[in-house]
Amino acid sequence: MSIILDELIRQVTSGQPERGLLLLRVRDELQMTLRAFQDLFLFSSSYDSRKTVLKEAELHKLELEVKRMQLQREFNKVKEERDRLQSELDHEEQTFREGRESRLKKHYEEYQFLKRVNNALKV
């Protein structure tokens, strides 16, 4: 196509130089316009691919946010379970201490009683 246009410009220039120069300018403008359209097309193609990548990244971000929220809920449940078990453990320890103290007190009272009986028997 450009060979035909070049030949046409050459023939017109030989007969009418002003028209030849005008056609030369038109050819150059046409080539610049075509290059600009090609660049725009390439840019829009790459923009579309970047836009797709950005959409995928946004979706991945949303998926990670949902996963984070699920893990946060699971963490809260585990924390509540830990707190419940800790309070149950504290209660069991308190019950054990009270039982131990009452057994020690009972043992001490029995010891004192036997000690008095032993002293009474010695006298």
Phi, psi of 16 (to 5 degrees): -140, 95
Summarised one tens digit per residue, pLDDT across range 62-114 is: 999 999 999 999 999 999 999 999 999 999 999 999 999 999 999 999 999 99
b/e sequence 16-43, b meaning 16+ C-beta within 10 Å: eeeebeebbeeeeeeeeeeeeeeeeeee
Half-sphere exposure of 37 (CA within 13 A, CB side): 6
Summarised one tens digit per residue, pLDDT across range 18-40 is: 998 898 999 999 899 999 988 88
- Report how many domains make up the chain: 1
Q: What distance in Å separates the CA atoms of residue 19 and residue 24, rounded to the nearest whole number?
A: 8
Q: How confident is the model at residue 53 (pLDDT cuts 50, 70, 90)?
A: confident
Res 70: pLDDT: 96
Query: What is the pTM for the complete model shown?
Result: 0.48
Q: How confident is the model at residue 43 (pLDDT cuts 50, 70, 90)?
A: confident
The range of the structural domain enclosing residue 94 comes to: 2-122
Q: What distance in Å separates the CA atoms of residue 57 and residue 52, rounded to the nearest whole number?
A: 9
Res 10: pLDDT: 87
Rounded mean pLDDT, 47-53: 73
Place of tokens 């009683």: 113
